Amino acid sequence: MRATPPRCVLTIAGSDSGGGAGVQADARTIHALGGFAGMAITAITAQNTRGVTAWRPVAPALIAQQIEAVMSDLPVAAIKTGLLPGAAAVRTIARTLARFPRLPLVVDPVMGATRGTRFLDTRGVQALARGLLPRATLVTPNWPEAEALADRRLRSLAEAEAAAVGLMEKFGCAVLLKGGHAPRENVVRDCLVTTDGRVRWLTSRRIVTRNTHGTGCVLSAAIATRLAHGDEMESAVETARAFLQSSLRENRRTPWGGAGPAFSGW
């Protein structure tokens, strides 16, 4: 029997009918790393590994009610957000989470699906920047998301580092700028900037798989879970990256299931 209960992590994100991303991937990740997942679903998507065919947002009031239901009962130790469907939803979530200022918050600023579906428009990005990112402990943009938040093009690693430092200074939270969308090479370089101004580049071998659907969800959920366990930021990021790498290696021959730990031996 488990000696101590798992740490509870609340994921506020969309539902993926294919199970490879969204709250489904988050929950598998949280559980694999010794946590218990509470969920507030922000949108319902019809999607699989090939893309999103339809989606509908959940009403902001219902998103808030889900968050309040979880927070009023479970001993939540960290929170992460993923797909947020519009400015009204972002503002509502920010107001609701303002009641829990001491909990670590990892924001994965999902703006669209890899294959083109747009979830968060310009007003939504502005609401994210004004209302939620100043509350965040860590934000985890990929290159296109960092370009939108920093309002600048990224063409090199030096420009990516400058953008990450700028985002940290602007929002007062740590930034993990993910390198999966960077100019392609055989390694992935992520730039971590902590709130003390320290810049650290984290490098790992690029794992070629049939399907990398859900990598951002898995990484942010893993970081949130490690923060819930009390890890320092750099340690949480290192463990989460290792977990994602392990999951990708385990799943690289599987054409479905996403990047999450469906088959991971972690």
- Which one is catalytic: 216, 257, 258, 260? 216
Q: Is 81 a catalytic residue?
A: no
Q: Which residues pair with 191 in a beta bridge?
A: 177, 201
For residue range 65-90, what is the model confidence (pLDDT) as tens digits?
999 999 999 999 999 999 999 999 99
Distance CA 112, CA 167 (A): 20
Q: Is 96 a catalytic residue?
A: no
Q: Is 124 a catalytic residue?
A: no
Residue 260 · residue 22 · CB < 8 Å: no
Residue-wise over 122-152: b if at least 16 C-beta within 10 A, else e?
eebbebbbebbbebbbbbbbbbebbbbbbee
Class at the top of the CATH hierarchy for domain 7-251: alpha beta
For residue range 26-38, what is the model confidence (pLDDT) as tens digits?
999 999 999 999 9
Q: Is 217 a catalytic residue?
A: yes
pTM: 0.92
- Which one is catalytic: 8, 173, 191, 217? 217
Q: Which residues pair with 203 in a beta bridge?
A: 189
pLDDT of 114 reads 64
Question: Among 49-53, 108-112, 183-187, 250-254, whose mean pLDDT is lowest?
Answer: 250-254
Please give the share of the chain, as a percent, with pLDDT higher than 90.
73
Q: Is 20 a catalytic residue?
A: no
Q: Is 178 a catalytic residue?
A: yes
- Which one is catalytic: 215, 225, 257, 260? 215
Task: Quickly count: other Cβ atoms within 10 Å of residue 57's Cβ.
Answer: 18
Residue 43 · residue 119 · CB < 8 Å: yes
Mean pLDDT of 10-23: 94
- Which one is catalytic: 19, 35, 214, 260? 214
For residue range 142-195, what is the model confidence (pLDDT) as tens digits?
999 999 999 999 989 999 999 999 999 999 999 999 987 676 678 889 999 999
